[in-house]
Structure 1
Amino acid sequence: MTATEFRTTIRIGPLRTLPNVITAVRTVAAVAVGVAALVTGSMELLVLAYGCYWVGDILDGWTARRLRQETRAGAVFDIVSDRACTAVLCLTLVTLVPDVAVVAVVFLLSFMVLDTMLSLSFLCWPVLGPNYFQLVDRRVWALNWSPLAKGVNSAGVIVTVACGQYKVALGVAVAILLVKLWSAGEVAQLLNRQGRA
């Protein structure tokens, strides 16, 4: 595919779309409520902040698909916004429940570093975002961006922590970390085989 064909088949923008507005609103709301939870020491506000994040994250993706406003810029904006929300909310959780610190370290390293690189790797191929990575590699997509994988990756650790199962949460976080490490290796090999590295 030539550079001209790439530009005409894959939309980079625009940035001014309803899904991106939803992403911005849910990010500001989740971060603001998360900071309020941190300042006040309120677990209820933290739960509300997670609700803003997750509901907004589902809504922006649904809206993008429904209105046919999926763009690569929107995918990157969503990925970056997810990290902002996760960083604030996870650190607030550790402050309110110090016993989850080890779980948080494993989860944050996995999500903020490995998952960020994996999620942005779609930019190396002519696909709209990570949700379409099955067009590049079905196994990597199934383990990272399929509906089941997204649910486990984002909610698996938090739900087990909320249930007070810190050892289980650590096991889930370590399992996710191992999946991300394997996936990163697969993507690196794929980039090398295709001469994209």
Structure 2
Amino acid sequence: MTSNTRSRLAVFTALALLMAATRLNHFGMVPDASWAVFALGGFYLAGSVRWAFPALMVLAVAVDYVVITGTGASFWSHYCVSPGYWMLLPAHFALWAAGAGLRRFGQDKPLRQLAGLAPALLLGVAVCHLFAQGGFYWLSDAVANPSVAGWAKNYADWFMPYLGTTALYVGLAVVAHALVSLLRRAGAASAGKLAD
């Protein structure tokens, strides 16, 4: 196994654990990191989209299944699992695409990537929210009399909380990324001095 493969598996495992741990209690004290996980997955695992994205989607549905059936409710008759639930597929892929696009935008140029982070995240969350919230609003039976005005209000009411949570986790990932990069550089510098 190459070091690149090991790194990808380590990143995937960390992202999967983060999503599972926070999605289990979607509205709990620790907010759900799922949206950030898909954006970070796109950034770090862009070349592994064929297996990593589907695996994270399966994990998301599996966690939802465990949570819903754990309350004694039927998964398929739960109000969250309407035809709109399946809009999470394009919703989460929009975040993945934002992360992958950011990766390509500043290939090997960290400052350029950092400058593009906010616009990429804003666009990814806006499109994700459009699919996720729109799918639930228009395709579920939870909204008695859907209207464009009601949809727009609902979209606006939930947009900032979702953006804030996603930005929080992505910001923590940026800090972790910077620390790992600094430690690698320090380690490489130390190894270079020892070789001299």
Normalised by the length of structure 1, the TM-score is: 0.29
Larger radius of gyration: 2
Give me the TM-score of the superposition, normalised by structure 2. Answer: 0.29
